[in-house]
Structure 1
Amino acid sequence: MFKRRRFKQQLTLQERLAAWSKQVQDEAAKLPPGPDRDALIKKARQADVANHLDDWARSPGLQPPK
């Protein structure tokens, strides 16, 4: 049977998303305006939204359904 390789993440999901978003934004800033740059900006925006959704899901004000 095949055994999966597993490892512990050193950074939290939020930290990884923020770092990746920053990296993609820096790459996009180096490109001239066009579809490639727009695609990178869109990916960075999606990472920011995912980070905010994770914050919202972990917020103490969010109550489970009764």
Structure 2
Amino acid sequence: MSTQRSPAHSSTFEYRLAQEANSLRAQAKGMPLGVRRTELLRKAKQIDVAGEMNKWLTSPGLQPPS
């Protein structure tokens, strides 16, 4: 029988995003310069931006960009 995760996550979305970004950076750190390393670092940056967007979207004082 497979076990499924309950809908209540043990960590926040922002925390999981940060963990994934850190994991990608750690992978890239051990690689030589090249396309794959660049892709990993770009993905980590995209995840950082997603976390910032999430903070903005979930903030109580949401203001439109100016």
If the TM-score is normalised by the length of the shorter chain, which range does it land in?
A: 0.7 to 0.9
Aligned match of 2:57: 57
Length-normalised TM-score, structure 2: 0.80
CA drift of 1:9 comes to 1.4
Gaps of 5+ in 1: none
Relative to the length of structure 1, the TM-score reads 0.80
Distance 2:17 2:25 in 1: 12
State the alpha-carbon separation in 1 of the partners of residues 50 and 10 from structure 2: 19
* Matches for 1:19-34 after TM superposition, within 5 Å: 19-34=19-34
The CA deviation at 1:6 is 5.7
User: Number of residues paired by the alignment?
Assistant: 59
Identity %: 37
Task: Name which one, 1 or 2, has greater alpha-carbon Rg.
Answer: 1
Deviations 1:21-55 (A, max 9, x none): 00100110110110000010011011100000000
Unpaired runs of 5+ residues, structure 2, are none
